[in-house]
């Protein structure tokens, strides 16, 4: 691991299919999976407000933001899957089964429009 860390410290770049220590691959995967999960969970929170937004301009903004969050999540799932630890399907199944993590902020409901924005 020391040689690998020295390589990175020296500006070395690593692609998903490059040789790397398993612990490093799994740590990077866990970080990306959590980020992907958080993007998707954030979109679900925003989705609840689409029918409740005060006016068409706000509704269009919430729709665009929700779409962006879902897109970010899908891109991150593809990047994580390239690391070969789990497939995209496995990551989503783990998320829905409560076996993987996402950021704490998405455990709290947005009760008012002010909470959402």
Cα 72 to Cα 115: distance, rounded to the nearest angstrom:
22
* Number of structural domains found in the chain: 1
Please check whether residue 5 lies inside any domain of the structure: no
Per-residue model confidence as pLDDT tens digits over 26-70: 999 999 999 999 999 888 888 888 998 889 999 999 999 999 999
Q: Find out whether 20 and 1 touch, Cβ atoms under 8 Å.
A: no
Please check whether residue 80 lies inside any domain of the structure: yes
**Which residues form the domain of 92?**
22-116
Tell me phi and psi for residue 66, to 5 degrees: -60, -45
Please check whether residue 2 lies inside any domain of the structure: no
Specify the pLDDT at position 106: 67
- Asked if residue 80 has pLDDT above 80, the reply is yes
Please check whether residue 43 lies inside any domain of the structure: yes
Please check whether residue 29 lies inside any domain of the structure: yes
Q: Find out whether 81 and 75 touch, Cβ atoms under 8 Å.
A: no
* pLDDT confidence band for 103 (50 / 70 / 90): confident
> Which of 104, 79, 91 is closest to 28 using CA atoms?
79
């Amino acid at each position: 691991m020391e040689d690998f860390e020295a390589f990175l410290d020296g500006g070395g770049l690593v692609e998903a299919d490059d040789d790397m220590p398993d612990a490093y691959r799994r740590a990077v995967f866990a970080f990306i999976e959590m980020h992907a999960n958080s993007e998707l969970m954030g979109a679900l929170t925003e989705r609840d407000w689409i029918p409740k937004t005060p006016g068409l301009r706000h509704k269009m903004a919430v729709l665009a933001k929700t779409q962006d969050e879902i897109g970010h999540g899908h891109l991150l799932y593809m990047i994580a899957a390239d690391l070969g630890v789990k497939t995209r399907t496995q990551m989503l199944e783990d998320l829905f089964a409560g076996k993987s993590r996402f950021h704490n902020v998405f455990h709290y409901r947005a009760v008012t429009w002010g909470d959402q924005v």
